[in-house]
Protein backbone atom coordinates (compact mmCIF):
# COMPACT_ATOMS: atom_id res chain seq x y z
CA UNK A 1 0.00 0.00 0.00
CA UNK A 2 1.09 3.59 -0.65
CA UNK A 3 2.06 5.81 2.29
CA UNK A 4 1.25 8.97 0.29
CA UNK A 5 -1.81 11.11 1.14
CA UNK A 6 -4.94 9.85 -0.64
CA UNK A 7 -5.42 11.20 -4.16
CA UNK A 8 -8.37 11.23 -6.54
CA UNK A 9 -8.78 11.93 -10.25
CA UNK A 10 -11.52 14.16 -11.65
CA UNK A 11 -12.11 14.00 -15.40
CA UNK A 12 -13.69 16.77 -17.48
CA UNK A 13 -14.61 15.35 -20.89
CA UNK A 14 -15.80 18.44 -22.75
CA UNK A 15 -16.65 19.22 -26.36
CA UNK A 16 -13.11 20.13 -27.40
CA UNK A 17 -10.89 18.20 -25.00
CA UNK A 18 -10.44 15.99 -21.95
CA UNK A 19 -8.81 17.31 -18.79
CA UNK A 20 -7.84 15.05 -15.90
CA UNK A 21 -7.03 16.66 -12.55
CA UNK A 22 -4.97 14.82 -9.94
CA UNK A 23 -6.22 16.18 -6.63
CA UNK A 24 -5.17 15.80 -3.00
CA UNK A 25 -8.31 14.29 -1.48
CA UNK A 26 -7.79 16.04 1.86
CA UNK A 27 -6.80 19.59 0.90
CA UNK A 28 -8.31 19.79 -2.59
CA UNK A 29 -4.99 20.99 -3.98
CA UNK A 30 -4.71 20.32 -7.71
CA UNK A 31 -1.37 18.58 -8.11
CA UNK A 32 -1.39 18.18 -11.89
CA UNK A 33 -3.69 18.47 -14.89
CA UNK A 34 -3.37 16.39 -18.04
CA UNK A 35 -5.00 17.41 -21.31
CA UNK A 36 -5.83 15.79 -24.64
CA UNK A 37 -7.77 17.27 -27.54
CA UNK A 38 -10.92 15.96 -29.25
CA UNK A 39 -11.96 16.29 -32.88
CA UNK A 40 -15.44 17.59 -33.73
CA UNK A 41 -16.67 17.08 -37.29
CA UNK A 42 -19.73 18.15 -39.27
CA UNK A 43 -21.16 21.05 -41.22
CA UNK A 44 -24.58 22.60 -41.90
CA UNK A 45 -25.65 22.11 -38.29
CA UNK A 46 -24.02 18.70 -37.76
CA UNK A 47 -21.62 18.30 -34.82
CA UNK A 48 -20.31 14.80 -34.15
CA UNK A 49 -17.42 13.07 -32.37
CA UNK A 50 -16.23 9.47 -32.16
CA UNK A 51 -16.75 8.33 -28.54
CA UNK A 52 -13.70 6.08 -28.83
CA UNK A 53 -11.51 9.19 -29.08
CA UNK A 54 -12.97 10.37 -25.76
CA UNK A 55 -11.65 7.21 -24.15
CA UNK A 56 -8.25 7.60 -25.81
CA UNK A 57 -8.14 11.23 -24.66
CA UNK A 58 -9.06 10.20 -21.11
CA UNK A 59 -6.23 7.66 -21.05
CA UNK A 60 -3.75 10.22 -22.39
CA UNK A 61 -4.87 12.98 -19.99
CA UNK A 62 -4.66 10.68 -16.95
CA UNK A 63 -1.18 9.56 -18.00
CA UNK A 64 -0.05 13.20 -18.16
CA UNK A 65 -1.54 13.99 -14.77
CA UNK A 66 0.17 10.99 -13.15
CA UNK A 67 3.70 11.81 -14.35
CA UNK A 68 5.94 11.82 -11.30
CA UNK A 69 3.04 11.00 -8.95
CA UNK A 70 2.43 7.89 -6.81
CA UNK A 71 -0.40 6.25 -8.76
CA UNK A 72 -0.89 3.77 -5.90
CA UNK A 73 -2.26 6.64 -3.77
CA UNK A 74 -5.24 7.21 -6.11
CA UNK A 75 -8.39 5.99 -4.37
CA UNK A 76 -11.16 7.05 -6.75
CA UNK A 77 -12.06 8.49 -10.13
CA UNK A 78 -15.13 10.25 -11.53
CA UNK A 79 -16.07 11.59 -14.95
CA UNK A 80 -17.99 14.78 -15.71
CA UNK A 81 -18.98 15.04 -19.36
CA UNK A 82 -20.52 17.35 -21.91
CA UNK A 83 -24.28 17.14 -21.57
CA UNK A 84 -26.97 15.91 -23.97
CA UNK A 85 -24.76 13.98 -26.41
CA UNK A 86 -26.34 10.84 -27.87
CA UNK A 87 -24.16 7.72 -27.87
CA UNK A 88 -25.63 4.53 -29.37
CA UNK A 89 -23.78 1.26 -28.77
CA UNK A 90 -23.89 -2.24 -30.19
CA UNK A 91 -24.09 -5.42 -28.10
CA UNK A 92 -20.32 -5.36 -27.50
CA UNK A 93 -20.41 -1.80 -26.15
CA UNK A 94 -18.89 -0.21 -29.25
CA UNK A 95 -20.36 2.90 -30.88
CA UNK A 96 -22.62 2.24 -33.86
CA UNK A 97 -21.93 5.72 -35.22
CA UNK A 98 -20.31 8.98 -34.07
CA UNK A 99 -22.03 10.66 -31.14
CA UNK A 100 -24.46 13.48 -31.84
CA UNK A 101 -23.20 16.38 -29.71
CA UNK A 102 -25.18 18.93 -27.73
CA UNK A 103 -24.51 21.66 -30.32
CA UNK A 104 -25.75 19.59 -33.28
CA UNK A 105 -28.78 21.59 -34.43
CA UNK A 106 -30.13 19.15 -37.06
CA UNK A 107 -32.65 17.94 -34.49
CA UNK A 108 -34.44 21.32 -34.27
CA UNK A 109 -37.49 20.09 -36.29
CA UNK A 110 -37.79 17.04 -34.03
CA UNK A 111 -37.57 19.25 -30.92
CA UNK A 112 -40.37 21.45 -32.26
CA UNK A 113 -42.54 18.42 -33.09
CA UNK A 114 -42.00 16.90 -29.64
CA UNK A 115 -42.89 20.19 -27.97
CA UNK A 116 -46.08 20.29 -30.00
CA UNK A 117 -47.08 16.80 -28.85
CA UNK A 118 -47.30 17.67 -25.14
CA UNK A 119 -47.16 21.46 -25.20
CA UNK A 120 -44.50 23.44 -23.30
CA UNK A 121 -46.39 23.14 -20.02
CA UNK A 122 -46.66 19.38 -20.36
CA UNK A 123 -42.91 19.03 -20.80
CA UNK A 124 -42.16 21.46 -17.97
CA UNK A 125 -44.41 19.51 -15.61
CA UNK A 126 -42.66 16.23 -16.38
CA UNK A 127 -39.02 17.11 -17.04
CA UNK A 128 -38.58 20.75 -16.01
CA UNK A 129 -37.46 21.58 -19.57
CA UNK A 130 -38.96 22.17 -23.00
CA UNK A 131 -37.25 20.23 -25.83
CA UNK A 132 -34.80 22.19 -27.95
CA UNK A 133 -32.32 20.86 -30.51
CA UNK A 134 -29.69 20.33 -27.81
CA UNK A 135 -31.72 17.86 -25.75
CA UNK A 136 -30.99 14.16 -26.13
CA UNK A 137 -34.61 13.26 -26.78
CA UNK A 138 -34.65 15.41 -29.91
CA UNK A 139 -31.42 13.79 -31.10
CA UNK A 140 -32.83 10.30 -30.56
CA UNK A 141 -35.90 11.28 -32.54
CA UNK A 142 -33.68 12.63 -35.33
CA UNK A 143 -31.79 9.33 -35.41
CA UNK A 144 -35.03 7.34 -35.60
CA UNK A 145 -36.25 9.41 -38.53
CA UNK A 146 -32.98 9.78 -40.45
CA UNK A 147 -30.97 6.66 -39.57
CA UNK A 148 -33.53 4.03 -38.56
CA UNK A 149 -31.03 1.17 -38.93
CA UNK A 150 -28.72 2.75 -36.35
CA UNK A 151 -31.59 3.45 -33.97
CA UNK A 152 -33.08 0.00 -34.46
CA UNK A 153 -29.70 -1.69 -33.99
CA UNK A 154 -28.89 0.08 -30.72
CA UNK A 155 -28.24 -2.30 -27.83
CA UNK A 156 -27.59 0.61 -25.45
CA UNK A 157 -28.14 4.37 -25.36
CA UNK A 158 -25.76 6.48 -23.30
CA UNK A 159 -24.74 10.04 -22.51
CA UNK A 160 -21.04 10.90 -22.98
CA UNK A 161 -20.13 10.61 -19.30
CA UNK A 162 -22.09 7.35 -19.00
CA UNK A 163 -20.07 5.86 -21.86
CA UNK A 164 -16.77 6.70 -20.15
CA UNK A 165 -17.90 5.57 -16.70
CA UNK A 166 -18.92 2.21 -18.14
CA UNK A 167 -15.49 1.86 -19.77
CA UNK A 168 -13.90 2.45 -16.36
CA UNK A 169 -15.87 -0.04 -14.30
CA UNK A 170 -17.89 -2.20 -16.70
CA UNK A 171 -21.15 -1.09 -15.09
CA UNK A 172 -23.93 0.84 -16.84
CA UNK A 173 -24.88 3.89 -14.74
CA UNK A 174 -25.87 7.52 -14.94
CA UNK A 175 -26.85 10.14 -12.37
CA UNK A 176 -29.89 12.43 -11.80
CA UNK A 177 -28.02 15.55 -12.94
CA UNK A 178 -26.96 14.44 -16.40
CA UNK A 179 -30.12 12.35 -16.86
CA UNK A 180 -32.20 15.49 -16.33
CA UNK A 181 -30.82 16.90 -19.60
CA UNK A 182 -32.29 14.11 -21.73
CA UNK A 183 -35.98 15.13 -21.66
CA UNK A 184 -36.92 11.52 -20.89
CA UNK A 185 -36.12 11.71 -17.16
CA UNK A 186 -38.71 13.07 -14.72
CA UNK A 187 -37.26 15.59 -12.30
CA UNK A 188 -40.35 15.21 -10.09
CA UNK A 189 -40.30 11.41 -9.90
CA UNK A 190 -36.53 10.99 -10.04
CA UNK A 191 -36.87 8.27 -12.66
CA UNK A 192 -37.24 7.74 -16.40
CA UNK A 193 -40.72 8.75 -17.55
CA UNK A 194 -42.48 5.74 -19.15
CA UNK A 195 -44.90 7.91 -21.15
CA UNK A 196 -42.08 9.97 -22.62
CA UNK A 197 -40.12 6.83 -23.47
CA UNK A 198 -43.22 5.53 -25.25
CA UNK A 199 -43.55 8.80 -27.15
CA UNK A 200 -39.93 8.43 -28.24
CA UNK A 201 -40.12 4.72 -29.06
CA UNK A 202 -37.23 4.18 -26.64
CA UNK A 203 -36.99 0.95 -24.64
CA UNK A 204 -36.04 1.65 -21.01
CA UNK A 205 -33.85 -1.47 -21.12
CA UNK A 206 -31.45 0.42 -23.41
CA UNK A 207 -30.80 3.08 -20.74
CA UNK A 208 -28.41 2.89 -17.76
CA UNK A 209 -29.81 2.71 -14.22
CA UNK A 210 -29.89 6.07 -12.43
CA UNK A 211 -27.63 6.15 -9.36
CA UNK A 212 -28.75 7.98 -6.24
CA UNK A 213 -26.19 10.79 -6.80
CA UNK A 214 -23.17 11.40 -8.98
CA UNK A 215 -20.99 10.54 -5.98
CA UNK A 216 -22.50 7.07 -5.67
CA UNK A 217 -19.92 4.34 -6.09
CA UNK A 218 -21.23 2.39 -9.07
CA UNK A 219 -18.31 0.03 -9.43
CA UNK A 220 -14.59 -0.55 -9.26
CA UNK A 221 -11.90 0.08 -11.85
CA UNK A 222 -11.58 -3.02 -13.98
CA UNK A 223 -8.29 -4.76 -14.59
CA UNK A 224 -8.27 -3.76 -18.26
CA UNK A 225 -8.99 -0.09 -17.55
CA UNK A 226 -6.45 -0.07 -14.72
CA UNK A 227 -3.71 -1.31 -17.05
CA UNK A 228 -4.54 1.34 -19.65
CA UNK A 229 -4.62 4.12 -17.05
CA UNK A 230 -1.69 3.04 -14.90
CA UNK A 231 -3.89 2.89 -11.81
CA UNK A 232 -4.63 0.19 -9.24
CA UNK A 233 -7.40 -2.23 -10.09
CA UNK A 234 -10.45 -1.96 -7.83
CA UNK A 235 -10.37 1.75 -6.91
CA UNK A 236 -13.75 3.46 -6.54
CA UNK A 237 -15.56 4.65 -9.68
CA UNK A 238 -18.30 7.24 -9.11
CA UNK A 239 -21.47 7.60 -11.16
CA UNK A 240 -20.20 11.04 -12.23
CA UNK A 241 -22.41 13.70 -13.79
CA UNK A 242 -22.73 16.40 -16.45
CA UNK A 243 -20.18 19.18 -16.76
CA UNK A 244 -22.42 21.94 -15.42
CA UNK A 245 -23.44 19.85 -12.42
CA UNK A 246 -19.77 19.09 -11.67
CA UNK A 247 -18.88 22.78 -11.88
CA UNK A 248 -21.61 23.47 -9.31
CA UNK A 249 -20.06 20.87 -7.00
CA UNK A 250 -16.62 22.40 -7.48
CA UNK A 251 -18.04 25.78 -6.52
CA UNK A 252 -19.61 24.34 -3.38
CA UNK A 253 -23.17 24.90 -4.63
CA UNK A 254 -25.92 22.67 -3.28
CA UNK A 255 -27.66 21.50 -0.15
CA UNK A 256 -24.46 21.38 1.91
CA UNK A 257 -23.16 24.61 0.44
CA UNK A 258 -24.33 27.77 -1.31
CA UNK A 259 -27.86 28.13 -2.69
CA UNK A 260 -29.25 30.75 -5.09
CA UNK A 261 -25.82 32.10 -6.04
CA UNK A 262 -25.74 32.74 -9.80
CA UNK A 263 -22.87 31.40 -11.88
CA UNK A 264 -21.84 32.48 -15.38
CA UNK A 265 -19.74 29.94 -17.25
CA UNK A 266 -17.89 31.08 -20.38
CA UNK A 267 -16.71 28.18 -22.51
CA UNK A 268 -17.55 26.76 -25.94
CA UNK A 269 -21.09 27.35 -24.70
CA UNK A 270 -22.18 30.02 -22.26
CA UNK A 271 -24.31 29.07 -19.26
CA UNK A 272 -25.94 30.71 -16.28
CA UNK A 273 -27.14 28.58 -13.39
CA UNK A 274 -27.72 28.42 -9.65
CA UNK A 275 -28.38 25.64 -7.17
CA UNK A 276 -31.91 25.91 -5.72
CA UNK A 277 -34.18 23.90 -3.45
CA UNK A 278 -37.27 24.77 -5.50
CA UNK A 279 -37.86 22.98 -8.79
CA UNK A 280 -38.16 25.66 -11.49
CA UNK A 281 -40.74 25.45 -14.27
CA UNK A 282 -40.12 28.07 -16.93
CA UNK A 283 -39.45 27.64 -20.62
CA UNK A 284 -36.68 30.25 -20.32
CA UNK A 285 -34.48 27.76 -18.45
CA UNK A 286 -33.57 24.09 -18.53
CA UNK A 287 -34.91 22.73 -15.24
CA UNK A 288 -32.01 20.39 -14.50
CA UNK A 289 -31.47 18.39 -11.35
CA UNK A 290 -28.23 18.92 -9.46
CA UNK A 291 -26.20 15.88 -8.60
CA UNK A 292 -26.89 16.16 -4.84
CA UNK A 293 -30.71 16.21 -4.85
CA UNK A 294 -31.19 19.96 -5.25
CA UNK A 295 -32.00 21.59 -8.60
CA UNK A 296 -29.84 23.42 -11.12
CA UNK A 297 -31.98 25.72 -13.31
CA UNK A 298 -29.79 26.69 -16.23
CA UNK A 299 -29.79 28.87 -19.32
CA UNK A 300 -27.42 27.83 -22.09
CA UNK A 301 -26.18 29.55 -25.24
CA UNK A 302 -24.41 27.80 -28.10
CA UNK A 303 -22.05 30.61 -29.04
CA UNK A 304 -19.52 31.88 -26.56
CA UNK A 305 -15.71 31.76 -26.48
CA UNK A 306 -15.27 29.65 -29.63
CA UNK A 307 -17.49 31.99 -31.65
CA UNK A 308 -15.66 35.10 -30.45
CA UNK A 309 -12.30 33.46 -31.18
CA UNK A 310 -13.54 32.77 -34.72
CA UNK A 311 -14.40 36.45 -35.16
CA UNK A 312 -10.95 37.40 -33.87
CA UNK A 313 -9.34 35.03 -36.39
CA UNK A 314 -11.43 36.45 -39.25
CA UNK A 315 -10.31 39.96 -38.27
CA UNK A 316 -6.66 38.92 -37.86
CA UNK A 317 -6.62 40.04 -34.23
CA UNK A 318 -5.49 38.56 -30.94
CA UNK A 319 -8.51 37.69 -28.77
CA UNK A 320 -7.54 40.41 -26.26
CA UNK A 321 -7.10 43.11 -28.93
CA UNK A 322 -10.66 44.41 -28.52
CA UNK A 323 -12.39 47.69 -27.72
CA UNK A 324 -16.04 48.44 -26.87
CA UNK A 325 -18.14 48.04 -29.99
CA UNK A 326 -19.45 51.57 -30.26
CA UNK A 327 -22.47 51.65 -32.61
CA UNK A 328 -21.73 48.18 -34.02
CA UNK A 329 -23.81 45.20 -32.87
CA UNK A 330 -22.55 41.70 -33.64
CA UNK A 331 -24.61 38.67 -32.62
CA UNK A 332 -22.10 35.81 -33.12
CA UNK A 333 -24.70 33.07 -33.62
CA UNK A 334 -22.36 31.03 -35.80
CA UNK A 335 -23.88 27.68 -34.80
CA UNK A 336 -27.51 28.77 -34.60
CA UNK A 337 -28.60 29.55 -31.05
CA UNK A 338 -30.25 27.71 -28.17
CA UNK A 339 -31.16 30.60 -25.85
CA UNK A 340 -32.98 32.31 -27.44
CA UNK A 341 -34.21 29.28 -29.40
CA UNK A 342 -33.01 30.21 -32.90
CA UNK A 343 -31.49 26.97 -34.24
CA UNK A 344 -31.34 28.25 -37.81
CA UNK A 345 -29.74 31.59 -36.98
CA UNK A 346 -26.38 32.79 -38.28
CA UNK A 347 -24.13 35.65 -37.25
CA UNK A 348 -25.63 39.12 -37.57
CA UNK A 349 -23.68 42.37 -37.89
CA UNK A 350 -25.26 45.82 -37.99
CA UNK A 351 -24.38 49.41 -37.12
CA UNK A 352 -21.20 49.72 -39.19
CA UNK A 353 -19.73 53.21 -39.78
CA UNK A 354 -16.68 54.46 -41.66
CA UNK A 355 -15.05 55.02 -38.31
CA UNK A 356 -15.70 51.44 -37.05
CA UNK A 357 -12.43 49.63 -36.35
CA UNK A 358 -11.53 45.95 -36.35
CA UNK A 359 -10.98 46.19 -32.61
CA UNK A 360 -14.52 47.52 -32.15
CA UNK A 361 -15.95 44.70 -34.27
CA UNK A 362 -14.21 42.17 -32.03
CA UNK A 363 -15.48 44.05 -28.97
CA UNK A 364 -18.99 43.90 -30.44
CA UNK A 365 -18.65 40.11 -30.75
CA UNK A 366 -17.73 39.91 -27.06
CA UNK A 367 -20.68 42.13 -26.20
CA UNK A 368 -23.14 40.12 -28.30
CA UNK A 369 -22.03 36.82 -26.76
CA UNK A 370 -21.93 38.17 -23.19
CA UNK A 371 -25.32 39.87 -23.61
CA UNK A 372 -26.89 36.60 -24.77
CA UNK A 373 -25.58 34.73 -21.73
CA UNK A 374 -26.42 37.46 -19.21
CA UNK A 375 -29.91 37.89 -20.68
CA UNK A 376 -30.81 34.47 -19.22
CA UNK A 377 -30.00 35.66 -15.68
CA UNK A 378 -33.40 37.29 -15.33
CA UNK A 379 -35.16 33.91 -15.28
CA UNK A 380 -33.09 32.58 -12.36
CA UNK A 381 -34.60 32.95 -8.87
CA UNK A 382 -33.24 35.51 -6.44
CA UNK A 383 -30.80 37.12 -8.83
CA UNK A 384 -31.41 40.84 -8.36
CA UNK A 385 -28.96 43.24 -9.96
CA UNK A 386 -26.72 43.56 -6.89
CA UNK A 387 -26.12 39.82 -6.44
CA UNK A 388 -22.50 38.89 -7.29
CA UNK A 389 -21.78 36.63 -10.25
CA UNK A 390 -19.36 33.73 -9.99
CA UNK A 391 -17.50 33.73 -13.29
CA UNK A 392 -15.99 30.43 -14.45
CA UNK A 393 -14.81 28.66 -17.61
CA UNK A 394 -12.03 29.52 -20.02
CA UNK A 395 -13.42 33.01 -20.57
CA UNK A 396 -13.04 33.80 -16.87
CA UNK A 397 -9.28 33.84 -17.46
CA UNK A 398 -9.55 36.40 -20.26
CA UNK A 399 -9.32 40.09 -19.41
CA UNK A 400 -11.76 41.20 -22.12
CA UNK A 401 -14.37 38.60 -21.17
CA UNK A 402 -14.23 39.61 -17.51
CA UNK A 403 -14.44 43.31 -18.22
CA UNK A 404 -17.27 42.86 -20.76
CA UNK A 405 -19.32 40.88 -18.22
CA UNK A 406 -18.67 43.48 -15.54
CA UNK A 407 -19.63 46.35 -17.86
CA UNK A 408 -22.85 44.77 -19.18
CA UNK A 409 -24.02 43.35 -15.86
CA UNK A 410 -23.01 46.12 -13.44
CA UNK A 411 -22.53 43.44 -10.77
CA UNK A 412 -19.69 42.37 -8.49
CA UNK A 413 -17.80 39.44 -10.02
CA UNK A 414 -16.22 36.60 -8.04
CA UNK A 415 -13.32 34.80 -9.74
CA UNK A 416 -12.80 31.36 -8.14
CA UNK A 417 -9.21 30.42 -7.45
CA UNK A 418 -9.52 27.06 -9.18
CA UNK A 419 -9.48 27.16 -12.97
CA UNK A 420 -10.57 23.57 -13.70
CA UNK A 421 -13.79 23.59 -11.69
CA UNK A 422 -15.49 20.82 -13.69
CA UNK A 423 -12.57 18.46 -13.11
CA UNK A 424 -12.30 19.54 -9.46
CA UNK A 425 -16.03 18.95 -9.00
CA UNK A 426 -15.57 15.49 -10.49
CA UNK A 427 -12.69 14.94 -8.06
CA UNK A 428 -15.03 15.77 -5.16
CA UNK A 429 -17.47 13.19 -6.55
CA UNK A 430 -14.59 10.68 -6.59
CA UNK A 431 -13.93 11.43 -2.91
CA UNK A 432 -17.60 10.79 -2.23
CA UNK A 433 -17.44 7.45 -4.02
CA UNK A 434 -14.29 6.41 -2.14
CA UNK A 435 -15.28 7.60 1.36
CA UNK A 436 -19.04 8.17 1.46
CA UNK A 437 -18.59 11.88 2.20
CA UNK A 438 -20.91 14.48 0.70
CA UNK A 439 -19.03 15.92 -2.31
CA UNK A 440 -20.46 19.46 -1.97
CA UNK A 441 -19.31 19.54 1.67
CA UNK A 442 -15.93 18.24 0.51
CA UNK A 443 -15.63 21.06 -2.04
CA UNK A 444 -16.68 23.63 0.56
CA UNK A 445 -13.90 22.37 2.86
CA UNK A 446 -11.46 22.67 -0.04
CA UNK A 447 -12.47 26.31 -0.55
CA UNK A 448 -12.38 26.09 -4.34
CA UNK A 449 -15.49 28.22 -4.89
CA UNK A 450 -14.25 31.71 -4.15
CA UNK A 451 -11.24 33.97 -4.20
CA UNK A 452 -10.94 37.41 -5.80
CA UNK A 453 -14.04 39.64 -5.83
CA UNK A 454 -14.09 42.50 -8.33
CA UNK A 455 -16.32 45.44 -7.37
CA UNK A 456 -19.19 46.49 -9.64
CA UNK A 457 -18.72 49.10 -12.34
CA UNK A 458 -21.38 51.39 -13.76
CA UNK A 459 -23.60 49.29 -15.98
CA UNK A 460 -23.39 50.05 -19.71
CA UNK A 461 -27.13 50.23 -20.33
CA UNK A 462 -26.68 52.00 -23.66
CA UNK A 463 -24.86 49.01 -25.17
CA UNK A 464 -27.30 46.57 -23.55
CA UNK A 465 -30.33 48.37 -24.97
CA UNK A 466 -28.73 48.67 -28.42
CA UNK A 467 -28.15 44.90 -28.61
CA UNK A 468 -31.60 44.20 -27.17
CA UNK A 469 -33.21 46.30 -29.90
CA UNK A 470 -31.45 44.27 -32.61
CA UNK A 471 -32.35 40.91 -31.06
CA UNK A 472 -35.98 41.70 -30.20
CA UNK A 473 -37.45 41.28 -33.72
CA UNK A 474 -35.75 37.89 -34.05
CA UNK A 475 -37.37 36.51 -30.92
CA UNK A 476 -41.01 37.59 -31.33
CA UNK A 477 -43.14 34.67 -30.22
CA UNK A 478 -40.18 32.76 -28.78
Query: Catalytic residue numbers?
Result: 243
Sheet strands side by side (includes 270-273): 286-289, 295-301, 270-273, 263-266, 389-392, 413-415, 452-454
Number of CB atoms found within 10 A of residue 357's CB:
15
**What is the rounded CA–CA span in Å between residue 8 and residue 4?**
12
φ and ψ at 256, to 5 degrees? -100, 15
Amino acid sequence: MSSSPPLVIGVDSSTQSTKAALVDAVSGRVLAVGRAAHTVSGRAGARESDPEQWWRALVAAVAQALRGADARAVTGIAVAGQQHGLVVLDASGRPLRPALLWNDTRSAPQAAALTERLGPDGWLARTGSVPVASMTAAKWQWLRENEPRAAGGAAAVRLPHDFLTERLCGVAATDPGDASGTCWYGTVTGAYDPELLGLLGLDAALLPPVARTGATRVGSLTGGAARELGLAEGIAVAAGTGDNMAAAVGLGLGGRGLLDHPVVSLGTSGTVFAATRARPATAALAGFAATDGTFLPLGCTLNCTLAVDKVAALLGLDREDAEPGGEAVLLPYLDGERTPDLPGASGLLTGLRHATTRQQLLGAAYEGAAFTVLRALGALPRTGEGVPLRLIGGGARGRTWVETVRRLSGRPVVLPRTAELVAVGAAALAVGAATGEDPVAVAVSWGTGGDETLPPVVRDRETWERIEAVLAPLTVGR
